[in-house]
Amino acid sequence: MALRAWLDVRRSWRPGHAPALLVIPLGLIVTVCVVDVLAPPHIHLGPLLVAAPAITVAFAGPLTTAAMGALAVAAQVLIGVLRGVSGTANIQAQIAALIVVSALCVTVCVVRGRREQQLHQVRSVAEAAQRVLLQPLPAHAGPLQIAGLYIPAEEEAELGGDLYAAARTTHHSTRLLIGDVRGSGLGAISNSALLLGAFRAAAHRQATLPRLAVHLDAAFRWDTSQWRPQTEQDTVEDFATAMLLDIPDHDPVVHLISCGHPPPLILRGHRVIPLVAEASHLPIGFGGAFGTADYDVQTFPFEVGDLMLLYTDGVIEARNTDGRFYPFTERVPQWTTDDPAELLRHLQADLLTHVNAHLDDDAAVVAIRRTASAPPPPDPSP
């Protein structure tokens, strides 16, 4: 709640979002007029009126800034008339200077407005690209409730190297992928798109998790290296840590393959159970496995009421200003009674509070709750 309030205050200071702040320049104009008229003849506060449009430009648009500049000019004229000095060169110079400064402030507002419009268009395109690339996870898949959370490290960024995806299979199960692509910037985004595309194309077709893992590794290695000069083949490393999971509808278990990724957590009541695979394979893209026999599938209980968390290292390696890591396994048990989406909302607020709203790495979390055991599929035989 404290973080949300801080963000609301921050947004209120953006141009066009703080009409209540008009009290400041208006109060300044009134105060200067009253004091200047009542003050002794040798005291002149009129030059302070230039602060009114200068302050307004910080939080208002060009029309409001122009109106405040006009009020400041009118106040300066009023002061000159009431003090009987309107015809002097000094007061006329002050009025001229006030008009020039107000015009400059309006110009700044116009230029800033155009830049903000361009930025808004760019962000709209980025948000559309994010929705296409990192598609929202389904809220329900068979007997599962699912929710996903992505927090970029860079402020105002929409996407980085962390990724997740889900797919339904024809044999009544849900497959999930969570991964973390090496590096950052456009290269990481491109490799994320590659891995997500390969998963979505094959997750529902490959009969087993090992076949899917082989397909992802081969597709990733081929696409990232096919246009690379031969001299760079052994010097540039594109890879992604990943966790592949298959959750059957009719069996309270989860099958997984770990490719150098942090282990999932099962929240059962207030217990936290790490699903540490006996074999952790090389990350996707290293080409460490060339056949299905090279991948070991680990199976763990995933019972009705259990909540499973998949995450990237940006969560567990998030540090506060004192250098302490985010206590992930200590915090999440307090939200086990919530549905997955609500748990992730609590987790996001708590994580950003821990790091003072500044992450050093992208963070992604997927929460999955098994709500019921689905009935077994009908026997196709007569």
Over residues 188-214, the pLDDT tens digits come to 778 888 899 999 999 988 778 999 999
pLDDT, one tens digit per residue, over 265-275 is 999 988 899 99
The DSSP-derived string for 306-368 is -EEEEE-HHHHT-B-TT-PBP-HHHHGGGGTTS-HHHHHHHHHHHHHHHTTT--SS-EEEEEE
**Average pLDDT across the chain, whole number:** 84
* Cα distance between residue 188 and residue 339, in whole Å: 31
**Mean pLDDT for the stretch of residues 25-36:** 90
Q: Note the pLDDT of residue 83.
A: 84
Pairing mode, strands 265-268 and 307-311: antiparallel
pTM above 0.95, yes or no: no
**Mean pLDDT for the stretch of residues 254-269:** 94
Structure-block tokens of residue 258: 């770990």
Q: Is 286 helix (H, G, I), strand (E, B) or coil?
A: coil
* Cα distance between residue 371 and residue 129, in whole Å: 32
Pairing mode, strands 144-151 and 307-311: unpaired
**Residue 267, C-beta contacts closer than 8 angstroms, at least 6 positions apart:** 273, 306, 307, 308, 309, 332, 333, 336
Q: What percent of the chain is modeled with pLDDT above 70?
A: 82
Residue 4: is its pLDDT beyond 90? no
- Contact (CB, 8 A) for 281 and 289: yes
DSSP β-bridge partners for residue 175: 167, 246
Question: Could you tell me the pLDDT band of residue 133, with boundaries at 50, 70 and 90?
Answer: confident
- Contact (CB, 8 A) for 202 and 216: yes
* Cα distance between residue 177 and residue 326, in whole Å: 23
Q: Side chain identity at 101, as an amino acid letter?
A: V
Q: Note the pLDDT of residue 316.
A: 93
* Cα distance between residue 249 and residue 374, in whole Å: 6
Phi, psi of 45 (to 5 degrees): -105, 0
**Mean pLDDT for the stretch of residues 23-28:** 91
Question: Could you tell me the pLDDT band of residue 382, with boundaries at 50, 70 and 90?
Answer: very low
Q: For the ranges 32-41, 159-168, 219-228, 357-366, which has the lowest average pLDDT?
A: 219-228
Residue 122: is its pLDDT beyond 90? no
Residue 8: is its pLDDT beyond 70? no
Find the helix or strand (DSSP H, E) in which 259 lies.
strand 253-259
Q: For the ranges 8-17, 124-133, 285-294, which has the lowest average pLDDT?
A: 8-17
Residue 88: is its pLDDT beyond 70? yes
DSSP 8-class letter at 215: H
* Cα distance between residue 313 and residue 243, in whole Å: 12
